[in-house]
Amino acid sequence: MISLNVYLTPRSGKAAELESVVRDRWIKAMAEQPGFLRAAALRPFPDDELAALEATRPQNAYEVVAYWETEAQRVDWTQRSIHAEVWADVLAASESVTYTLQTVEQSWNM
């Protein structure tokens, strides 16, 4: 199993649009693909709460973590026309997008 970790920062005034595109278009389309297991969209705690907890503030406004059975299945998804369509919407609402891939060594209750 692998994880795709995507870090997103919305364009000014586009936070609600980015959230909607991620939830209603990108993840929805991704969830229909062979090999897709699950995904989560993460948003940091407010700055004051993170400071009170002495926690590090993430560099991006959102993180999406998607789990796939294999990297080959994830790559297959990126080659489909629906990916290009929904990913364009994510990019249009984003100021910055970065990502990384990781191998899931172990999982609990997933």
DSSP string, 45-77: PPHHHHHHTTPPPPSSSEEEEEEES-HHHHHHH
Summarize pLDDT for 46-61 with one digit per residue, the tens: 999 999 999 999 999 9
CB 18 within 8 A of CB 95: no
**What pLDDT is stored for residue 110 in this prediction?**
65
Question: Are 42 and 63 within 8 A, CB to CB?
Answer: yes
Walk me through the domains of the chain, giving residue ranges and CATH numbers: 2-103 (3.30.70.100)
Q: Taking a C-beta distance cutoff of 8 angstroms, is the pair 107, 68 a contact?
A: no
pLDDT tens readout for residues 73-104: 999 999 999 999 999 999 999 999 999 999 99
Residue 107: per-residue pLDDT: 86
Q: Which amino acid does the sequence have at 86?
A: V
Give me the mean pLDDT over the 20-46 stretch.
96
* CA-closest candidate to residue 34, choices 63, 9, 69: 69
pLDDT of 63 above 80: yes
Residue 28, number of CB atoms within 10 A of its CB: 11
The predicted-structure confidence for 35-49, as pLDDT tens digits, reads as follows 999 999 999 999 999
pLDDT reported for residue 71: 97
CA 92 to chain centre: 15
Phi/psi class of residue 40: alpha, beta or left (left: φ > 0; alpha: ψ in -120 to 50)?
beta
